[in-house]
Amino acid sequence: MSIEAIKDLLKKEEGYRRFPYQCTAGKWTIGYGRNIDPLGGTGISEYEADFLLGMDVRGRVASLEKLLDFWGALPEIAQTVLVCMAFQLGTGGLLQFRTFLEHLKAKEWAEAAESMLQSLWARQTPARAQRMSELIKTLA
């Protein structure tokens, strides 16, 4: 039996679940029956985590390209910071940073960097916010 045939059979037997759920044995599971339970589950490999991260990054880039009319005019560093923020905060959360985004659109790098630090996000994750702000400052 081929790997593809086995996968096809398991897909039919397990069914796909996008979000974690508890299987009949009470173990946390996701996808096509992947046991991610902290007590004895297989979790995911670093390779799988890297693959998922790549998918998430591509998804955030695609969203930001559509939502920000100035995306293409931004330097790569600014785009990188936006994707990182959208990853942490969600795209909707990032879009709440209206002043920051207006400064980016106007290429007011120092003001954008400072406005990032005047947020609940910066109070909750100060070291990360500071690192992201420093990256924006390099554009000034």
Q: What is the pLDDT of residue 39?
A: 86
Q: Which fold would CATH assign to domain 46-137?
A: Lysozyme (1.10.530)
Q: Which of 63, 79, 91 is nearest to 136 (CA)?
A: 79
Q: What is the pLDDT of residue 51?
A: 94
Spell out the domain ranges in the chain. 3-35, 46-137
Residues facing residue 34 across a β-bridge: 30
Q: What is the pLDDT of residue 3?
A: 87
Q: What is the pLDDT of residue 41?
A: 85
Q: Which of 111, 92, 95 is nearest to 103 (CA)?
A: 111
Instruction: Check: CB of residue 66 under 8 Å from CB of residue 106.
Output: no
Q: What is the pLDDT of residue 25?
A: 86
pLDDT tens for the 140 residues of the chain, in order: 798 988 988 899 899 999 999 988 899 999 999 999 998 888 899 999 999 999 999 999 999 999 999 999 999 999 999 999 999 999 999 999 999 999 999 999 999 999 999 999 999 999 999 999 999 999 99
Instruction: Check: CB of residue 33 under 8 Å from CB of residue 14.
Output: yes
CA angle 131, 133, 139 (to 5 degrees): 115
What's the CA gap between 52 and 54, in Å, rounded? 5
Contacts for 80 with CB less than 8 Å, ≥ 6 apart: 135
Q: What is the pLDDT of residue 57?
A: 95
pLDDT above 70 covers what percent of the chain? 100
Q: What is the pLDDT of residue 96?
A: 97
